Amino acid sequence: MARTVWDSTVGKKTVMAVSGVIMLLYLVAHVIGNLKIFFGAGEFNHYAHWLRTVGEPFMHYEWTLWLVRIVLVAAVAAHATSAYQLSRRDLRARPSKYVHKKPRASYATRTMRWGGVILGLFVVWHILDLTTGTAHPGGFQEGHPYQNVVDTFSTWYGNVVYIVAMLALGLHVRHGFWSAAQTLGVGSRTRDRALKTLANVLALLLTAGFVAVPVGVMTGVVS
Amino acid sequence: MKLTLRVWRQKNAGAEGAMSTYEVDGISPDMSFLEMLDVLNERLILAGEEPVAFDHDCREGICGACSLVINGDAHGPERTTTCQLHMRSFRDGDTIDVEPWRASAFPVIKDLVVDRSAFDRIIQAGGYVTAPTGSAPEAHATPVPKADADFAFEHAECIGCGACVAACPNGAAMLFTSAKVNHLNVLPQGAPERETRVLDMVAQMDAEGFGGCTLAGECATACPKGIPLVSITSMNKEWLRATRKAAGGR
């Protein structure tokens, strides 16, 4: 069955949809966690520490966190691999362009591929910046995420990279969520409007929620 | 009407093609687009030139033979087939670009004629029912709920012209294949092959080199028969169901 799914364009789209939904669920949890930064260093740092102790005593320290990380890396790998293979196929299927060009499809639809690449690169920077601290401006302090976040968003490039990536995320979710519903066969004529609205609301809330943090640092609400 | 036409000319499948410019005069707004091309061809023949090759048959909008991407739109600016598109949709003095369907699965044979036999092979893979043929059976023998009958009929309207493929940025045949799958899969007559039909037709569609669906929605906008985009969703649902069943699930 795995073979038939992976060999089919419809199957690869299913892989994309499922992995996309997994990442989307993670993002919803992520944005809720991020917003705790507005309640002070104490609450934010406590929340960050809790992430490592989730599931104790059944799970050992950081086990749950690593489980989530493994699932996410698998989802990203599956999503990117199927996107790459499907895109290659799509470009081969339409080698010659029309002489008479017309603006086609919505902006969100047309930017799915490059938007996805931008998001992938962003995730690499984001992890190097705030998880490992490798690319962190100033001194990265393990166990002090509040200060680390403030440091990152005190640089102009930190703000630019982050906000551009979050706008790309909004566009990606807008077309991606609705598309995933169609791929998984959940969409229908009667549900279409509700699904499109839900996609837009999700995209808007995620982008606004994530962007609120750098804006908070820039305006001095978070310092 | 006086028009400037820029038409794709290509000697054969192997030759390089290019846009050629022609002036046509004395076009009536009541002519169909194909009649306008007939006028152009008559003049080309009289001038000793090679006429423009294009596909056409019934000229009633029901056979699916005519094609043409007109000013970047499959079947032109109106939501109909090229044969049912009339010159009143254009203005005197317009320049009109006429190109063939573009997709690697639809290679150009000559000028504006493309080889659409990939569609035939998708149909051969499962677009049929194994029912005894002959005279029409008694209509009440197999009851079909009204909603299912409407759904089947809506999809049966597909004339297989290929406008969906031509309009799709990925050269995908998802709308065509979904119309054919949904048409038969919803009916009791199509039930025996319900799973193999969708799996085999999708596999053949992939084998022909069509692209995948990114839900851009261009196909449904171009479709002269109004097959809706959600048709693809219904086929995806059928494909997932069949895949689960093939794996031993329910």
Please tell me whether residues B132 and B224 are part of one structural domain.
yes
CB-based burial label for A146 (10 Å; 0-12, 13-18, 19+): buried
Distance CA B168, CA B173 (A): 8
Please tell me whether residues B131 and B240 are part of one structural domain.
yes
Say whether B211 and A92 touch across the interface (CB within 8 A): yes
Please tell me whether residues B185 and B222 are part of one structural domain.
yes
Distance CA A177, CA A179 (A): 5
* Peptide bond preceding A57 in cis form (omega within 30 of 0): yes
Count Cα atoms within 13 angstroms, Cβ side, for A170: 17
Number of domains in chain B: 2
Residue in A closest to B232 by C-alpha = A182
Cβ(B171)–Cβ(B211) under 8 Å?
yes
Amino acid at A206: L
Range of the domain at B103: 3-109
Strand partners, B32: B86
pLDDT above 70: residue B250: no
Q: What is the pLDDT of residue A2?
A: 73
Residue in A closest to B238 by C-alpha = A185
For chain B, the average pLDDT equals 95
- State both tokens at B233: 């969703």
A137, A221, B213 from A141: Cα distances, Å: 11, 21, 46
Please tell me whether residues B121 and B99 are part of one structural domain.
no
B246: contact with A, CB 8 A cutoff? yes
User: Which tens digit of pLDDT belongs to each residue from B151-191?
Assistant: 999 999 999 999 999 999 999 999 999 999 999 999 999 99
Say whether B216 and A101 touch across the interface (CB within 8 A): no
Say whether B234 and A109 touch across the interface (CB within 8 A): no
Please tell me whether residues B105 and B145 are part of one structural domain.
no
Please tell me whether residues B179 and B58 are part of one structural domain.
no
Q: What structural domains does chain A harbor? A: 2-219 (1.20.1300)
CATH of residue B222's domain is: 1.10.1060.10
pLDDT above 90: residue B74: yes
- State both tokens at B160: 């297989």
Buried b (16+ CB within 10 A) or exposed e, A85-116: ebbebbeebbeeebebeeebbeebbbbbeebb
For chain B, percent of residues with pLDDT exceeding 90? 93
For chain A, the average pLDDT equals 95
Please tell me whether residues B54 and B130 are part of one structural domain.
no
Residues of B in contact with A10 (CB under 8 A): 202, 212, 235-236, 239
The residue from B47, B77, B109 where one domain ends is: B109
Distance CA A59, CA A65 (A): 10
- State both tokens at A75: 């989802």
d(CA B72, nearest CA chain A) in Å:
5
Say whether B105 and A93 touch across the interface (CB within 8 A): yes
User: Which tens digit of pLDDT belongs to each residue from B125-159?
Assistant: 999 998 777 888 888 888 999 999 999 999 999 99
d(CA A31, nearest CA chain B) in Å:
27
d(CA B6, nearest CA chain A) in Å:
10
Strand partners, B24: B3
Mutate to test the interface with B, among A1, A3, A4, A9 (most CBs of B within 10 A): A9
Please tell me whether residues B72 and B37 are part of one structural domain.
yes
CB-based burial label for B167 (10 Å; 0-12, 13-18, 19+): buried
Residues of A in contact with B215 (CB under 8 A): 109, 175, 178-179, 182
pLDDT above 70: residue B76: yes
Cβ(B74)–Cβ(B80) under 8 Å?
no
Cβ(B56)–Cβ(B83) under 8 Å?
yes
Please tell me whether residues B58 and B103 are part of one structural domain.
yes
Please tell me whether residues B154 and B198 are part of one structural domain.
yes
Query: Residue A187: which residues within 8 A CB-CB, separation 6 or more?
Result: A178, A181, A195, B230, B233
The residue from B85, B109, B133 where one domain ends is: B109
The residue from B109, B143, B170 where one domain ends is: B109
Regions of chain A with pLDDT less than 50: none
Please tell me whether residues B98 and B142 are part of one structural domain.
no
Distance CA B63, CA B244 (A): 36
User: Which tens digit of pLDDT belongs to each residue from B193-241?
Assistant: 999 999 999 999 999 999 999 999 999 999 999 999 999 999 999 999 9
Please tell me whether residues B138 and B100 are part of one structural domain.
no
CATH of residue B82's domain is: 3.10.20.30
